[in-house]
Structure 1
Amino acid sequence: MLPPVASRFVAGESAAAVLEHARRENDRGVGVICNHLGEHYHERAPADADTVAYERLIRDIGASELRACVSVKPSQLGLSVDESVFRENLARVVAAGAEHGVFVWVDMEDHTTVDATLDTFEEYARGPRGAVHHGTSERRGREQGGMGLCLQSNLRRTADDLRRLADCPGKVRLVKGAYDPPAEVAYTEKSQVNEAYREDLEYMFREFDDGIAVGSHDPAMLTRAADLHADYGTPYEVQMLMGVRERAQNDLARTCDVWQYAPYGTSWPAYFRRRLLERKENALFALRAIASG
């Protein structure tokens, strides 16, 4: 059972729980990106099992009126087993999304997985399975299914990867990067990462037609995105994590498209620990919750 202290960051242990969470967030004007927790599988069986879980979740979302989609991790679908396993399982998830009109995001993991993830995404997004094309509206794109990919601005290669994807159907979620890559492939100073993020955002607003997701809790970057939208008119959405700046999510939803990344599943302990280690405020929240009861 999910303890109350973890419920700020995790929607629950079951698909029913994350769908109920999506209903509540939808009432506040926020869409929900559902992530079934699990990653770094080195055997095929759990990767295949999570693929089936995503197919079922997509079917349930498609049968509902929810403003919801899914996000998968490559190592969860078998990339750590073999690239062919990942490609096969992602094809199944994307096919389910296309059948039921549910958008599929592909998360980006550590720097060693970028090439395989990017190659597979681009193949499927440019192929017949990729239903969303730049220039479609956000609402229509979600209803028709389609694909999106996460890129990390702390990686030195990301500017080139964005140029590669500028005309690719689908969407790109830009984040600063949560992993700790070596200096030869990444910017390691906070100021460098922030500058790279600003430059990447500007490129996307200038060159992308309709495929920008600003994955950030940083008020400065959200303001920058709003300014760039005013300059270029490019549609965009904001994506934030469940449990982080939720009041800001609700406020932003009054003026722009906001989506919340909401994890669920029985593998929540590792994710919960990661959230606590990320920010002092998160750890203080947990301590207060434990002390009060």
Structure 2
Amino acid sequence: MIPPIARRFVAGETEATALERARRLDERGVGAILNHLGEHYDERDPADEDADTYCRLIDDIAGTDLRACISVKPSQIGLDVSESVFRENCARIVDHADTAGVFVWFDMEDHTTTDATLDAFEAEARAHDGGVGVCLQANLRRTPADLSRLADCPGKVRLVKGAYDPPAAVALPSERVDDAYRKLLAQAFAEREGGIAVGSHDPAMIAAAERLHDEYGTPYEIQMLMGVREPAQERLAADHEVCQYVPYGEKWVSYFYRRVAERRANLTFALRAIVN
């Protein structure tokens, strides 16, 4: 059983609970990004099994009129086994989703996975003329160059501040991340014709995206986590495209406590989100 502190942030342990969450969000004008929890498999069988699970989830989404898509972690579908296993499962999921008309996001994990994730995203995005998205982290020094690389790539790019704790050689000091995020937003709006996702709960970053949209006219969407600033998500959905990241599955323990461990501030943030 999922305890109350975690149930705020996890839809449940089954696909049915995740789809029900997506239905409730849809009634409030918010889309759902469904993530079947699991990651860091070092054997092929569980990676293949989770790829199968995603293909079934795609079929179930396609059988509804919900505004829902899926989000997959590379280490969940084989990247820790080998890059070839990851690419095989990646292609299988994206091919299936393309046929069903369901969008696929690839989450970005720690900095050691960035190249493999971007290579897979770009290959699938160009092969399918979009239909997939990838996350870029503002706290990495390399991200401006990665964003430029993807400027003409179809699909979507989600900008986040970055929840992992990379070494100083590859990461910006924490006090510079907000400024880096603003600059990346400006770069994305200037370089891309669309497909921008603002992955932030920070009102200042959302306001910056609104100003850039007014300047460039580039379409964008706002993405937030389940359980965080949900009243604000509903308010924003009246005038913006808003999607909520909805994790579910039996592996909720590792998801919840990893988020707390990634940054000590996450625990305080989570507790504030519960009472606000």
- What range describes the TM-score normalised by the shorter chain of this pair? over 0.9
- SS, match of residue 41 in structure 1: coil
Equivalent residue for 1:195? 179
- SS, match of residue 173 in structure 1: strand
Which of 179, 201, 206 is matched with 2:164 structurally?
Answer: 179
CA contact (8 A) 1:275 1:282 kept: no
Equivalent residue for 1:291? none
Equivalent residue for 2:121? 121
Equivalent residue for 1:245? 229
After TM superposition, give the deviation of residue 183 of structure 1 in Å.
0.8
- SS, match of residue 76 in structure 1: helix
Distance in 2 between the 1:274 and 1:219 partners? 25
Equivalent residue for 2:38? 38
Divergent runs of 4+, >6 A? none
Matched, 1:261 2:245: yes
1:73-112 CA distances to partner (integer Å, 9 max, x unpaired)? 0000100010000000011110111011000000000010
Distance in 2 between the 1:231 and 1:284 partners? 34
Distance in 2 between the 1:66 and 1:131 partners? 22
1:40-82 CA distances to partner (integer Å, 9 max, x unpaired)? 1111111011000000000000011110000000000100010
After TM superposition, give the deviation of residue 131 of structure 1 in Å.
3.7
Equivalent residue for 2:271? 283
**Identity between Structure 1 and Structure 2 (%):** 62
After TM superposition, give the deviation of residue 11 of structure 1 in Å.
0.5
Equivalent residue for 1:232? 216
Distance in 1 between the 2:272 and 2:188 partners? 36
For 2:112, give the aligned amino acid: T
Taking structure 2 as the reference length, what is the TM-score of the superposition? 0.95
Taking structure 1 as the reference length, what is the TM-score of the superposition? 0.90
Matched, 1:49 2:49: yes
- SS, match of residue 9 in structure 1: coil
After TM superposition, give the deviation of residue 256 of structure 1 in Å.
0.4
Gaps of 5+ in 2: none
After TM superposition, give the deviation of residue 174 of structure 1 in Å.
0.5
Distance in 1 between the 2:180 and 2:92 partners? 34
After TM superposition, give the deviation of residue 271 of structure 1 in Å.
1.5
Equivalent residue for 2:71? 71
CA contact (8 A) 2:229 2:273 kept: no
- SS, match of residue 262 in structure 1: strand
Matched, 1:204 2:213: no
CA contact (8 A) 1:98 1:131 kept: no
Which of 154, 170, 193 is matched with 1:169 structurally?
Answer: 154
After TM superposition, give the deviation of residue 240 of structure 1 in Å.
0.3
Structure-2 change in CA distance of 1:9 and 1:101 (3 Å)? same
CA contact (8 A) 1:9 1:275 kept: no
Across the two proteins, how many residue pairs are aligned to each other?
Answer: 271
For 1:283, give the aligned amino acid: L
Gaps of 5+ in 1: 133-145, 289-293
CA contact (8 A) 2:44 2:81 kept: yes
Matched, 1:214 2:202: no
- SS, match of residue 39 in structure 1: coil
* TM-align CA RMSD: 1.3
Matched, 1:159 2:147: no
CA contact (8 A) 2:139 2:174 kept: no
Distance in 1 between the 2:163 and 2:209 partners? 20
Matched, 1:271 2:259: no
After TM superposition, give the deviation of residue 282 of structure 1 in Å.
1.8
- SS, match of residue 75 in structure 1: helix
For 1:280, give the aligned amino acid: T
CA contact (8 A) 2:77 2:89 kept: yes
Distance in 2 between the 1:109 and 1:284 partners? 25
